[in-house]
Amino acid sequence: MSGTSLVAARERALAVLGGEPDDATLRRYLHGIPGIDAVGLEQRAAGLGTRSIKTTSKRWALDRTISLIDLTTLEGADTPGKVRSLVAKAMTPDPADPTAPRVAAVCVYGDMVPFAVDALGAAHGDPDDGLVSVAAVATAFPSGRASLAIKLQDTADAVAAGADEIDMVIDRGAFLAGRYGEVFDQIVQVKEACRKPDGSAASLKVILETGELNTYDNVRRASWLAILAGGDFIKTSTGKVQPAATLPVTLLMLEVVRDWHLATGQRIGVKPAGGIRSSKDAIKYLVTVAETAGEEWLRPHLFRFGASSLLNDVLLQRQKLATGHYSGADYVTID
């Protein structure tokens, strides 16, 4: 390992683990984390999903959802034209209503990054400032089945092309086989590959692919491992595997970042991705974020929805609200 970020990750891991982040030390630490009460977790998620919101807050919830979306196209048939259309929608989600906020980011394959950057123009920037970031999937997405050298080059190429954020996939086979040190090391090195010549770095989202991790205990261990290795976000899924994002899994991950913040003062983001298609479901996630990690997390640098079709439903419900045809009965609401 080399570079200051690698040193920082190792020092952070040493402080928490009490030893080198090798397989034995990581196994002892990760398997020492208390097991998940699956029934309790699912009951908490179900309870949060029934919370309610005042009618006057519905517009806020819909707009906040839009501002947290990573508008995504990750298909083999993607073209520069399709990416430009995606960017146009990201910048002006509702051409009939200029008050609709922009989405947080567009998420594309690495070779599409230059077209997204070019199409965004002056709108390219920090979503916390109302601009739109460019996120790129990397590290042999979605399988992660490639050599480390290829994963690092994949990441470096996307960053060099202008990506502000990298969504990497962990090696699920290595994780499930208990090769935690290998997974840790790959995340650390990908984080280093996110570094730019000016000393800044693209934000790193670590995709756990929770649908392949089989148990809540594994999801919790993978979440802690990704954070220890320096991930800026932990992300549920690629969207290519079912189940993708679920409310209980997202709740579990939010509890991990809450506990990490309480222990270290550092805030880590969470990104549920795949399968979140309705405004009703999105609002359940907003409630879960606010009630678990805190309202501070309801900002683009700490929470995202990875979605391709969610925006359409949010805009539809927003239009219904504006015309008085919005039905509160259709929605979970937030107090």
Q: What residues act catalytically?
A: 167, 235, 271
Q: What's 142's DSSP letter?
A: T
- 205 within 8 A of 165, measured Cβ to Cβ: yes
Can you point out the beta strands (E) in 77-225?
A: 105-109, 133-137, 165-169, 203-207
* Integer Cα distance of 303 and 296 in angstroms: 10
Strands 165-169 vs 105-109: parallel, antiparallel or unpaired = unpaired
Name which of 125, 120, 190 is nearest 154 in CA terms.
Answer: 190
In angstroms, the first-to-last Cα distance of the chain is 48
CB atoms within 10 A of CB 184: 27
* Integer Cα distance of 190 and 136 in angstroms: 13
Q: Rg (Cα) of the chain, in Å, rounded?
A: 19
- 305 within 8 A of 282, measured Cβ to Cβ: yes
* Integer Cα distance of 314 and 201 in angstroms: 32
